[in-house]
Amino acid sequence: MTEWPDPTVYLPYMVEIEQEDGEVRSYPAHFVTMTPDFVFVRDPAGGSASLPTRSVRSIRVAVQDLPADHDSLRAEYPNAYQPWHPFDELSLEGMHKSRGTQASAQLRRRPPAHLAIKARERGYDPTAMLNAIENESKPEPHSLEALYARRSAENDYLVIVKPGVDLYQILSRHQLSPDGLYRIVASWGFGVRLTGLQLEQSPRAGGPALSEDPDIDRIEPDPERLAPHFRAPQERRVDGEYIVGVRCSGDPLTVAARAGVSPSRVFDFINSFSADMTDAQVQALRRDPDVVQIEDNATAVLDC
């Protein structure tokens, strides 16, 4: 069976497809999609294969073990073991050309050992790059660099409006799309992912910033946020099948792979996917910051 050569990327699946003529082909897979019309396999580097379902006799999908240090590295470096994006490659080249004097924020999200492997693959000397990242000092709290970093960082918040205030006026005033709405005693609140800029600056000229809006009671960080799971009535629920909504800035296939899920369908126009999942996978996706919501798949009832 074909092995995946890049030790810096986690390969979730190995797929063996037996075709009608008896030929067996092996594919390293980042995700696998099977429909009545086709079988589609994509590897972590973006390579893909598509076969008509009618030409396939059998499929065997072997889930690969996580690297031993997967969870510990991901806790410190969010992009550890994720596929390399073309922007990562450009950032690596930029650091090489600048002799390590410009440490990209994107690259700092990967373990130094992984950066060294990629640098050597391209014939770069990783020493200067790694030294630049390791020795890089944090910006002064009131410096322009610190301001940019604070304003670009995203975090989850629970925003609670004052009693009697129309929640939708707040959302319209600040041009926000909430992850969920909540009834809180005599008032309302909503969960939302915000950048520092959205907190500190109004999208409308002359309007108050969200953090200074007099109609808002308080804004609380929500580090333990779980994406809402909307349940269908038991009699219409399709057990084990779910639809996962992903943020506009997220990639449904990458989100699915992080939870070890193989989507049955991807809906590009609403940035979501459907899949068969275990309860553990549902909970893992609810904790994923790129997931907006999860809902049960359900049968529709038509009144004729």
pLDDT tens digits, one per residue of 114-172: 888 888 888 887 776 666 666 555 666 666 666 666 665 667 788 889 988 888 889 88
Per-residue model confidence (pLDDT) at position 102? 46
Q: What structural domains and CATH numbers belong to the chain?
A: 13-63 (2.30.30.100), 70-135 (no CATH), 154-221 (3.30.70), 229-298 (3.30.70.80)
**What is the DSSP code string of 54-98?**
GGEEEEEEEEPPPPTTHHHHHHH-TTTBSPPPHHHHHHHHHHHHT
Taking a C-beta distance cutoff of 8 angstroms, is the pair 273, 256 a contact? yes
- DSSP letter assigned to residue 9: B
Under DSSP, the state recorded for 275 is E
pLDDT in tens, 176-232: 877 667 776 677 888 887 877 788 888 887 888 998 999 999 888 776 677 878 888
